[in-house]
C-alpha cells in the first residue's frame, strides 16, 4: 500500500528524531525511517555533547531528562614529547572552575543508543510514526522534485518534503545529486574501545575530565603521521570510551595503513602511557571495539562547505549536510540546531504550499547565519596543529592545543556564544532560569541510578521553606529580566555589539589575564570547595519537581 | 540469526545483509587502499585485484569506499534490520 505523509525524515540518529518530533508537534503527518533494527544500533560516537547543544538546542532536550553517562567539566591535554622517558607536558586550562563544576558542565558524555532512543520516543509521543529495519535506497522524483522515498523492500512512500538525516556518508544525498562524496582527507576513521571500569575508580582517576593526548609522530601515541588527530578518553558512568583517530588520506594523497598503525599505536599507548599503564590498565575490562568515520575537515574546504544542503522537496541536516565540528569533533549540537531550523522551514513550506528550492533556501540562509555552527565547522586549530607536528615546532603545537582545547579557545568561541546567548535572552527572557534548572536537573540525573531507579546518594528533600525560597528567587529573576525586556531593542543592540568585539578583546587581553585568572581560581580553591559542597547538597536534596520546566506549547518551533 | 566475533567483542551482526559492497574488477587497479583502511580485514588481493574475503566483521564505516579513488567500490547499506549493531557506540 502506498501511503502519503507530509514529512519523511530519513535516519533516526541524533538529528532525525528532533526534526520528526518538531514536525509532528506542528501537526504534520510525519514518518521517521531508520535502517537499523532498533534506533541507535548503528550510531557510533565519542562522545561529549558540548553544553551549547543543550542550552541552544531543542527545548524538549533542555527541559527534559535525556539519558547521559557523566557530566564533563573540561579537558586535560597531555603533550607527549618523549614517551620512553615520560616527558609529557600538560595543558588543563580549559575547565569549569569550582564551585560551578560539576553542576555547570562543559558537556555531557553519553552512549549513542540510549540517547537516540530517548529522542525517537519523544518523536513518537508527539505523533510521528517510526519505521525501523528499513533502508531508504532512492527517492521518488517527479518534475525535478523529491516526492518521497523508495525503500529496500521496493515500497514507495510519498511525502511533501524529505528531511535527510542519514549521517556523514551521504549515500542518498549523492544519489539525489545534491552533493558529492567527501574526499578521504576530510574523513577521520575513529578506532573505538569501550572498557568497563568501576565508578569509584573513574571518580578518582578521571573525575569529570576528558583526557586528550597529542605529540610527536615518532612517539607513536598520537597522532599517527603528524595529521592533527589525537587520542581521547572519555569517562562514563561505569565505563571508559577510548578513541584514536586518523584521516583516511594525507594532504600528500597517501592512504596510511591504518589497520597496522592503529594496532601498533594502541599497544604502545596502553603499555607506555604512564597514567594508562599504571592507573587505568589494571582496573579495566574490554567490553567492545568498533570503528566509524567522522567528517573532520569538511567545513574547512570552501567547496565542500558550500555544497547545497537542500533541493526541491528535500533538506539535509546534521552530518550529511557537512556540519560536524573540526576541533571537538562534535556534530551533535549542529545536528540538533539544523534539525530545528529544517523543521521550522519545512513546516512553513508546507503551510505555504511551496516546497521549491527557492523557498527552502531560507534553510541554508539560517545555517550560514548560525554563529555556533559556523564557528565549529571552520575552526582551524586542529588543522594547523598537524603542521606544527610535522615541523616539530613545540611553541606552535602548544599554542594550537591551547587555542583549540585550552583556555585560548575563549578567543574564538566567546563571540559566537555570546551572540547566540543574547539572541536567546531577547526572545525569551525567562531562558536564564530554564538554563539554571537544566543544569540542576541534569546533575540530579547524574546521581540517579538508572538500574535501580534510585538516587545513588541518599536524597531527602529539603524542608519546604528553603525550596520555596529558591523558587521565589527564580521567579524574581524572571520578573526582573521581563521588566528589563521593555528595553529589549536598546540593550540587544548594545549586547550584540559587545559580543562581536569579545573575541578580539580577549585575544589581546587573555595572554596577560590568564595567569592571574588561574591564580585567582587556585587561591579561591578552599572557598570554592566549600561552596561546591553546599551547592551539591542543595541540588541533591531538592525536590526534582522544582527543576522541571512547564511543557512548552504544541506547535512551538524554536531556532 | 545473530553472529558475534571473538576479535571484536560487544558487537553483533544480524545476518541477511546481501552483498552490499561490490568491487568492479575492471576499475580496480589493485592499489590496496581498501585493505589498508579496513579494520575488519574484509578484503584481500588476488592476482592484483581486490576481492571481498568476507563481510562478517564489517562495521559499515565506508572507509573502503572513501579511499577507492578509482570508483571500483560500489557501496550500499545492508538490507534494513541486518548488519552490525552495538549497545556501546
Ligand atoms: C567516533 C566518533 C566520535 C564523535 N564524537 C563526538 C563528540 O564527542 N561530540 C559530538 O557532539 N559529536 C561527536 N561525533 C559526531 C556525531 O556523532 C555526529 O555528528 C552525529 O551523530 C550526527 O547526527 P546525524 O543525525 O546527522 O547522523 P547520525 O547520528 O549518524 O544518524 C544517521 C542515522 O541514519 C540512519 N541511516 C543512514 N542511511 C539510511 C538509509 N538509507 N535509510 C534509513 N536509515 C539510514 C543510520 O542508521 C543512523 O541511525 C562523533 C562521531 C564519531 C563517528
Ligand atoms: S581501493 Fe579500489 S582500486 Fe584500490 S584495490 Fe581496493 S577496490 Fe581496487
Ligand atoms: S565498510 Fe569499513 S569495515 Fe566494512 S569493508 Fe569497508 S572499510 Fe571494512
For residue A222, give the C-alpha cell.
598520537
Over residues A484-495, the mean pLDDT reads 81
Peptide bond into A99 cis (omega under 30): yes
Q: Is A457 exposed, middle or buried (0-12, 13-18, 19+ CB in 10 A)?
A: exposed
The pLDDT assigned to A84 comes to 86
Whether residue A459 has pLDDT greater than 60: no
Task: Verify whether ligand 3 is closer than 6 Å to residue B38 (CB atom).
Answer: yes
Ligand nearest to the backbone CA of A255 = 2
Phi and psi at residue A498, to the nearest 5°: -60, -45
The number of C-alpha atoms within 13 Å of A23 and in the hemisphere containing its C-beta is: 35
A457 or A281: whose pLDDT is higher? Answer: A281
Contact between residue A108 and residue A72 where contact means Cβ atoms under 8 Å apart: yes
C-alpha cell belonging to residue A390: 610535522
Count chain A–chain B contacts defined by CB atoms under 8 A. Answer: 130
Run of H or E residues at A333 = helix A332-351
Contacts of B21 (CB under 8 A, 6+ apart): B42, B52, B55, B58, B64, B65, B73, B74, B75, B76
Q: What is the mean pLDDT of residues A412-437?
A: 92
* B26-60: pLDDT as tens digits: 999 999 999 999 999 999 999 999 999 999 999 99
What's the confidence (pLDDT) of residue A559?
28
3-state secondary structure of A166: coil
Q: For residue A213, list its beta bridge partners.
A: A78, A231
How far does Cα B85 stand from its chain's mean position?
Answer: 15
> Given this model, what pLDDT does residue B16 score?
96
* pLDDT at residue A551 tops 90: no
* pLDDT at site A224: 46
pLDDT at residue number A16 = 98
Taking an 8 Å cut-off on Cβ atoms, the answer to whether A134 and B84 are in contact is: no
With a 6 A CB cut-off, is A44 part of the ligand 1 pocket? Answer: yes
Q: DSSP string spanning A429-467?
A: TTHHHHHHHHHHHHHHHHTEETTTTEESS---PPPHHHH
Distance CA A226, CA A247 (A): 10
Residue of A nearest to B8 (CA): A289
- The dihedrals phi and psi of A154, each to the nearest 5 degrees, come to 80, 5
Q: Is residue A453's pLDDT more than 80?
A: no
Cross-chain CB nearest to A113 (options B36, B77, B89): B89
- The mean of the pLDDT values for chain A is 90
Cell numbers placing A352: 505555504
Lowest mean pLDDT across A235-249, A396-410, A454-468: A454-468
A499 lines ligand 1 (CB under 6 A): no
Taking the C-alpha atoms of residue A263 and residue A111, their distance in angstroms, rounded to an integer, is 24
Q: What's the average model confidence in pLDDT over A255-284?
A: 92
State residue A538's pLDDT score: 82
Interface check B48 vs A, CB under 8 A: no
Q: Which whole number is the average pLDDT over B61-80?
A: 98
* pLDDT value at residue A557: 29
Instruction: Summarize the confidence of residues A548-554 as an average pLDDT.
Output: 56
Instruction: For residues B79 and A520, give the distance between their C-alpha atoms in angstroms, rounded to a whole number.
Output: 59
The arithmetic mean of pLDDT across residues A485-496, rounded, is 82
Per-residue pLDDT band at A206 (split at 50, 70, 90)? very high
Round to whole Å and give the CA distance between B59 and A10: 20
Q: Which pLDDT belongs to residue A467? A: 72
How far is it, in rounded angstroms, from Cα A93 to Cα A209? 12
Q: What is the pLDDT of residues A123-135, one digit of tens each?
A: 999 999 999 999 9
pLDDT for the residue A248: 94
The lowest-confidence range among A15-19, A96-100, A105-109, A138-142 is A96-100
| CB of B60 sitting under 6 A from ligand 3 | yes
Q: What confidence tens digit (pLDDT) does each residue in A61-83 have?
A: 999 989 999 999 999 999 988 88
Using one digit for the tens of pLDDT, what is the confidence trace for A319-356? Answer: 999 999 988 889 999 999 999 999 999 999 999 999 99
* Distance in Å, alpha carbon of B23 to nearest chain A alpha carbon: 17
CATH topology of domain B2-86: Alpha-Beta Plaits (3.30.70)
Q: What is the pLDDT of residue A486?
A: 77
Using the mean position of ligand 3's atoms as its centre, give its distance from the Cα of residue B35 in Å.
9
Which residue has the least CA distance to atom 1 on ligand 2? B68
What band does A449 get if pLDDT is binned at 50, 70 and 90?
low
Q: Give me the count of residues in chain A.
A: 559
Q: Whole-model pTM? A: 0.95
User: Which pLDDT band holds residue A447 (cuts at 50, 70, 90)?
Assistant: confident
- Residue A229 confidence (pLDDT) above 80: no
pLDDT at A204 over 90: yes
Domains present along chain A, CATH in parentheses = 4-69+109-183+299-378 (3.50.50.60), 74-96+184-296 (3.30.9), 403-547 (no CATH)
Q: Which residue has the higher pLDDT, A556 or A186?
A: A186
CB contact under 8 A, A41 and B9: no
Using CB distances shorter than 6 Å, the residues near ligand 2 are B 23, 28-34, 50, 67-68, 70, 72-73
pLDDT in tens, A134-177: 999 999 999 999 999 999 999 999 999 999 999 999 999 999 99
Q: What DSSP letter does each residue of A364-414 carry, written as one string?
A: HHHHHH-HHHHHHHH--HHHHHHHHHHTT-HHHHHHHHHHHHSGGGHHHHH
Q: What ipTM goes with this model?
A: 0.97
Instruction: Kindly state the percentage of chain A with pLDDT values over 90.
Output: 69
How high is the pLDDT of residue A222? 61
Chain B hits for A44, CB-CB cut-off 8 Å, are 59, 86, 89
Residue scoring higher pLDDT (A230 or B46): B46
Kindly report, residue by residue over A12-40, the tens digit of the pLDDT. Answer: 999 999 999 999 999 999 999 999 999 99
Amino acid at each position: 500500500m502506498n501511503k502519503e505523509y507530509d514529512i519523511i525524515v530519513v535516519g533516526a540518529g541524533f538529528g532525525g528524531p528532533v526534526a520528526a518530533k518538531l514536525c509532528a508537534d506542528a501537526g504534520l503527518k510525519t514518518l521517521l525511517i531508520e535502517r537499523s533494527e532498533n534506533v541507535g544500533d548503528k550510531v557510533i560516537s565519542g562522545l561529549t555533547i558540548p553544553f551549547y547543544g543543550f542550552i541552544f538546542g531543542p527545548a524538549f532536550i533542555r527541559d527534559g531528562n535525556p539519558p547521559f553517562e557523566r557530566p564533563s567539566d573540561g579537558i586535560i591535554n597531555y603533550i607527549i614529547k618523549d614517551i620512553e622517558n615520560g616527558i609529557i607536558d600538560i595543558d588543563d586550562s580549559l575547565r569549569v572552575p569550582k564551585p560551578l563544576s560539576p553542576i555547570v558542565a562543559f558537556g555531557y558524555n553519553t552512549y549513542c543508543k540510549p540517547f537516540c532512543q530517548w529522542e525517537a520516543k519523544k518523536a513518537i509521543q508527539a505523533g510521528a510514526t517510526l519505521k525501523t529495519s528499513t533502508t531508504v535506497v532512492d527517492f521518488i522524483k517527479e518534475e525535478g522534485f523529491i516526492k518521497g522515498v523508495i525503500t529496500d523492500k521496493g515500497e514507495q512512500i510519498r511525502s511533501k518534503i524529505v528531511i535527510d538525516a542519514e549521517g556523514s556518508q551521504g549515500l542518498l544525498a549523492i544519489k539525489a545529486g545534491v552533493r558529492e562524496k567527501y574526499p578521504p582527507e576530510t574523513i577521520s576513521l575513529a578506532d573505538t574501545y569501550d572498557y568497563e571500569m568501576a565508578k569509584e575508580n573513574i571518580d578518582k582517576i578521571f573525575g569529570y575530565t576528558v583526557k586528550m593526548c597529542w605529540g610527536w609522530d615518532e612517539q607513536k601515541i598520537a597522532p599517527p603521521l603528524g595529521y592533527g588527530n589525537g587520542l581521547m578518553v572519555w569517562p562514563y558512568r561505569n565505563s571508559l570510551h577510548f578513541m584514536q583517530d586518523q584521516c583516511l588520506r594525507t594532504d600528500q594523497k597517501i592512504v596510511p595503513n591504518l589497520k597496522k598503525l592503529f594496532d601498533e599505536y594502541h599497544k604502545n599507548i596502553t603499555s607506555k602511557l604512564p597514567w594508562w599503564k599504571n592507573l587505568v590498565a589494571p582496573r579495566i575490562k574490554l567490553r567492545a571495539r568498533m570503528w566509524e568515520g567522522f567528517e573532520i575537515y569538511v567545513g574547512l574546504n570552501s567547496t565542500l562547505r558550500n555544497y547545497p544542503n537542500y533541493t526541491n522537496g528535500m533538506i539535509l541536516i546534521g552530518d550529511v549536510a557537512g556540519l560536524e565540528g573540526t576541533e571537538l569533533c562534535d556534530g551533535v549540537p549542529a545536528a540538533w540546531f539544523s534539525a530545528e531550523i529544517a523543521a521550522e522551514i519545512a513546516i512553513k513550506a508546507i503551510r505555504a504550499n511551496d516546497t521549491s528550492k527557492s523557498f527552502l533556501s531560507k534553510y541554508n540562509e539560517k545555517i550560514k547565519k548560525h554563529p555556533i555552527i559556523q564557528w565549529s565547522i571552520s575552526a582551524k586549530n586542529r588543522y594547523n596543529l598537524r603542521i606544527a607536528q610535522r615541523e616539530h615546532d613545540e611553541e606552535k603545537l602548544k599554542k594550537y592545543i591551547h587555542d583549540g582545547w585550552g583556555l585560548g579557545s575563549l578567543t574564538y568561541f566567546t563571540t559566537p556564544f555570546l551572540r547566540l546567548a543574547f539572541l536567546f535572552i531577547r526572545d525569551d527572557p525567562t531562558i536564564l532560569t530554564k538554563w539554571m534548572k537544566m543544569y540542576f536537573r541534569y546533575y540530579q540525573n547524574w546521581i540517579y541510578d538508572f538500574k535501580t531507579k534510585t538516587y545513588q546518594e541518599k536524597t531527602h528533600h529539603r524542608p519546604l521553606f528553603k525550596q520555596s525560597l529558591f523558587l521565589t528567587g527564580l521567579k524574581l529573576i524572571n520578573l526582573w529580566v521581563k521588566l528589563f525586556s521593555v528595553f529589549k531593542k536598546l540593550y540587544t543592540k548594545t549586547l550584540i555589539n559587545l559580543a562581536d568585539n569579545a573575541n578580539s578583546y580577549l585575544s589581546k587581553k587573555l595572554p596577560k589575564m590568564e595567569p592571574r585568572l588561574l591564580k585567582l581560581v587556585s587561591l579561591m580553591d578552599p572557598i570554592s570547595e566549600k561552596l561546591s559542597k553546599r551547592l551539591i547538597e542543595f541540588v541533591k536534596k531538592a525536590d526534582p519537581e522544582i527543576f522541571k520546566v512547564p511543557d512548552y506549547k504544541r506547535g512551538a518551533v524554536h531556532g | 540469526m545473530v553472529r558475534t566475533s571473538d576479535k571484536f567483542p560487544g558487537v553483533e551482526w544480524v545476518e541477511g545483509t546481501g552483498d552490499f559492497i561490490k568491487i568492479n574488477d575492471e576499475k580496480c587497479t589493485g592499489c590496496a587502499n581498501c585493505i589498508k583502511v579496513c579494520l575488519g580485514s574484509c578484503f584481500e588481493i588476488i592476482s592484483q585485484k581486490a576481492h571481498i574475503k568476507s563481510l562478517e566483521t564489517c562495521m559499515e564505516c565506508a572507509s573502503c569506499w572513501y579511499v577507492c579513488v578509482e570508483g571500483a567500490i560500489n557501496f550500499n547499506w545492508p538490507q534494513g534490520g541486518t548488519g552490525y549493531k552495538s549497545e556501546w557506540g
